[in-house]
């Protein structure tokens, strides 16, 4: 039925306003007016979220931009230079938001700032350079960069708010698809193991709760139902233990311990996706690969005991 639904279709399902993208009905939030004040509010939110989901130590104040740039330009060690680039990107984002705050303040007291004003051009330059350096910025897991999330404040500055919201729904849909794919991979990988059958419903609940978390704004009152469900679902997966017989072979116990470790990793990846609300292709692909390698090891052991 979803195949016949047009992208961007609005509906009300079980009392929840939703919008359709890429096969998913996503909780809908009407975009605010496309004013400078609302743009500033959106940029502030997106900048805070970007720093929340990226590596520590890069939220450099805008007033330290020159120092951050000098450190980046003079560093010669490649690994350290990468971190300096991320810190410079953070300083540029913060300088841009500082400038935009000034612009909005002037507008509020009746001073109109045109798009070709020097302040506006400086703001645009800072956002653009921060975006260019975004590939040096890693997710806090350290597994990969998170360019799509890092680029959101720049989009909020340059595009109409309604367009930014539309982009948000598209990215959430892709994150939801990855969440479903991960949960499905975990089910197929672990449920056939001795003692692991009960993990299936727990993974299904984690997937459902994670998708709800990914679509819900923190300012929405429904978060007081969505977040506890998400946390509880993750805890149930983390607390799961297989029902193995006391005389289970040592190799079977070893495989069960490895399966639990992989389950914990998969739970984290689902949490990353739900929090960032954007795809994380490298992290997701790496986890699928580890599950495939584990299944191959399990089949080898099963063949050896047959």
> pLDDT of 115-160, one tens digit each?
788 989 999 999 999 999 999 999 999 888 888 889 899 999 999 9
Q: What is the pLDDT of residue 1?
A: 47
Tokens of 301: 């052991």
Q: Please report the DSSP string for 92-152 in residue order.
A: HHHHHHHHHHHHHHHHHTT----TTSHHHHHHHHHHHHHHHGGGG-BBTTSS-B-HHHHTH
Cα–Cα distance measured from residue 276 to residue 175, given in angstroms and rounded to the nearest whole number: 9
φ/ψ of 148, rounded to 5, equals -65, -40
Q: What is the pLDDT of residue 265?
A: 97
16: enclosing H helix or E strand? strand 16-21
CA distances to 88, 158, 178, 279 from 276, in Å: 22, 21, 12, 8
pTM: 0.90
Residues of the chain with pLDDT under 50: 1
Q: Are strands 16-21 and 10-13 parallel, antiparallel or unpaired?
A: antiparallel
**What are the sequence ranges of the domains in the chain?**
36-158, 171-305
Q: Residue 112 has what pLDDT?
A: 83
Distance (Å, rounded) from C-alpha 73 to C-alpha 224? Answer: 46
At 272 the pLDDT is: 96
pLDDT at 251: 82
Task: List residues bridging with 24 in a β-sheet.
Answer: 21
- Which pLDDT value is given to residue 249? 82
Q: What is the C-alpha to C-alpha distance for residues 203 and 295, in angstroms, rounded to an integer?
A: 18
CA 15, chain centre distance (Å): 26
């Amino acid at each position: 039925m979803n195949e016949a639904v047009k992208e961007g279709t609005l509906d009300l399902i079980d009392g929840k306003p939703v919008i359709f993208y890429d096969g998913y009905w996503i909780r809908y939030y009407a975009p605010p007016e496309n004013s400078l004040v609302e743009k500033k509010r959106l940029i502030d939110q997106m900048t805070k979220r970007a720093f929340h989901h990226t590596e520590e130590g890069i939220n450099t104040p805008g007033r330290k931009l020159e120092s951050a740039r000098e450190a980046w330009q003079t560093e010669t060690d490649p690994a350290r230079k990468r971190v300096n680039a991320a810190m410079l990107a953070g300083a540029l984002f913060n300088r841009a938001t500082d400038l935009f705050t000034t612009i909005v303040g002037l507008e509020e007291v009746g001073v109109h700032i045109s798009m070709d004003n020097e302040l506006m051009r400086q703001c645009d330059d800072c956002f653009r350079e921060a975006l260019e350096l975004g590939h040096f910025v890693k997710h806090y897991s350290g597994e990969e960069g998170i360019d799509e999330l890092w680029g959101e404040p720049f989009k909020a500055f340059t595009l109409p708010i309604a367009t930014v919201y539309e982009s948000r729904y598209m990215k959430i849909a892709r994150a939801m698809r990855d969440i479903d794919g991960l949960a499905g991979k975990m089910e197929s990988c672990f449920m056939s193991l001795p003692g692991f059958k009960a993990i299936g419903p727990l993974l299904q609940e984690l997937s459902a709760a994670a998708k709800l978390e990914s679509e819900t704004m923190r300012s929405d009152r429904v978060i007081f139902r969505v977040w506890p469900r998400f946390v509880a679902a993750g805890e149930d997966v983390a607390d799961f233990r297989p029902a193995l017989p006391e005389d289970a072979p040592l190799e079977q116990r070893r495989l069960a311990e490895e399966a639990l470790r992989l389950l914990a990793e998969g739970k984290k990846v689902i949490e990353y996706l739900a929090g960032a609300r954007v795809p994380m292709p490298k992290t997701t692909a790496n986890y699928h690969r580890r599950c495939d390698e584990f299944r191959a090891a399990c089949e080898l052991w099963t063949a050896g005991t047959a």
